[in-house]
Structure 1
Amino acid sequence: GAGGGGPDMSRMRGQDNSPSTLLSEQENLALFGLLERKSTTLASAVCQLYLAVPGNASQWTKEYSGVVCFIKDNPRRSYFIRVYNLQEGKQLWEQELYNQFRYCTPRPYFHTFTADECQAGLNFADDYEGEKFQAVIEEKIQQRHSRQEKRHNTGHHSTPDSGKRQCVPLPPPPTGSGSHGPAAPMGATSIQNPEITSFRYRSMPTAAPAPSAPAPDKKGKKSKQNAKKKLTKADIGIPSNFQHVSHVGWDPDNGFDVNQMDPDLKKFFNQAGITEEQLTDVETSKVIHDFLDSQGGLDAVKEVIRKQDAAPAPRPPARGALPQPPPGPPPSRGRQGPLP
């Protein structure tokens, strides 16, 4: 552009690039600087990339930690999911969106798709970033489908890339607690590393956690070159203790944190007759969390409470009431993971 520092400066400023909310402005600019010329990131998020590698496809193996971007690559006239390492300043992995690309979301924080070589999973540090990433990709897939429909209707048949790209049965998402029983082999699926258990309160400074429980053999599996190295902020641009936590203070390994719970949420649960025991039970809390998620999360709860406080209504509106979750398994099950 005129008076600027050439086209690269505008790329570095990231005018059209979508930043990650977990990265600082500097880190986002560094990320945008890694993009190829005339490429734009439409969504960026801190995450871990898991692959169900051939020969071991019954379980997830962690490949990389970094920032995932959904890229519009103008020179190649295509869209890509690319993972970058900010510390080393390089691209680690990519997958192009092909004709029959399907994007699946078995969990708000864990999304899967079929890559060229195997199944791939993105484990997001933040639910909201994951949801935004999903929305942008699905919008693009939808646009592509509409265009193909039009072409199809005018007689120009594109070659179908048929069925092999569907959402196939996959290993369960990595949860780390062993709460899904033998179906989730601890070895490669656990994300419950000592360094990533206390990511819950991002604003609270935390001392580097000591390796409390031995992380089952996953440590030595994919990172031989740095077997002992922890995820550091420099690696991915966020606090080193990486764990996905939804904005209602729930995590898949320990349920809801009743001590640090938002007062409105606590009030909401009390009114719905949900007990502390149910909130901390792994299986039951997941049902509650998924329901909350489907109703609009914490914002929706606050809205309900706000309306109650404004109006003299003795009870919350019926549609805001939580269904009684099914009785959970005995508390001992699924609680093997280290407590927060």
Structure 2
Amino acid sequence: MLFEKLLRPTLYRLSGDDPEVVHERTVRLLGLLPADPPLLRGHYGVDDPATVFGLRFPNRVGLAAGMDKDGRALHAWPALGFGFVEVGTVTRLAQPGNPKPRLFTLAEHDAVINRMGFNNSGADALAARLAAGGKPGVPLGISIGKSKVVPLTEAVADYRYSLRSLYPYADYFAVNVSSPNTPGLRELQDRGALSELLGELQRTSRELATGEPTPLLVKVAPDLTDSALAELLEVCDEHGVAGVIATNTTLSRAGLSGLEAVVGRETGGLSGGPLTERAREVVRFVHTQTGGRLPIIGAGGVLSGQDARRLLDAGASLVQVYTGFALKGPGLVREINRTLAGWR
């Protein structure tokens, strides 16, 4: 409540009401915190371990990709209660992303529209940062995507480069083929393209592994039809994918009204409140379609502890937050952790 009533309005006022500036300053400040700062120790997190796709998580609440693309605040996130952290989406080539403005807050709907476009410093820069600064004290996921300037016909090699560069550091990889902000990217969710991509990434992973290969997950769009999603899951099963992240942002603008609908005409992916129900539907579909065999990280519209609980009840094993955290602050992480504690 303090964050929503005082800190967030102050951050926006000091940043000229520019949400991207707020984001940048927040990550920069968090990056200055020491590992396990005494003032935060034990305040937000809960010891509620879970083992999913072979990894032990201290709790079920993760930071979604997009908040800390370049891994600049890795040691701060566990102190804020996160049981795992996903950095990225990172691409082989460093890229500035789409032109600004590209991030819009829709406060009335607890929602955000972004068309960031995978702005990041590149896979090699992230690898260098991880080599120098080390990993966080919780499992680290790395989301990899396609460089914008690389044509779809060369996408496999582009993803494979990032996988190779970052392989020593990831506890799992998330293959992002579902962002709406890189032209043509979602075509990689089609059967043929996805099968080729996953086949090559799994082969590369086995080549690089010194023991068990690093788990490979696929992040799916909420806008897929049931038949398209079922086909995607068949491909995931054929290639031994370890799990699915459901879901990415949506192109739908259903439910927006009033002045928010004006902002809603901005292009880009919508996240937050309008995605809550659809994310739960996709999680339930994936769980049912796979007979519960494929682990799911539920993401999208998690704005309360009950939202997170409903995702687990629908079939997710873990949850991720991004928009909810950005809008409500670390108190949301504490609330989710306490709501999920002891869930079975």
Q: TM-score range by the shorter chain?
A: under 0.3
Please say which structure displays the higher CA radius of gyration: 1
**TM-score, L = length of structure 1:** 0.26
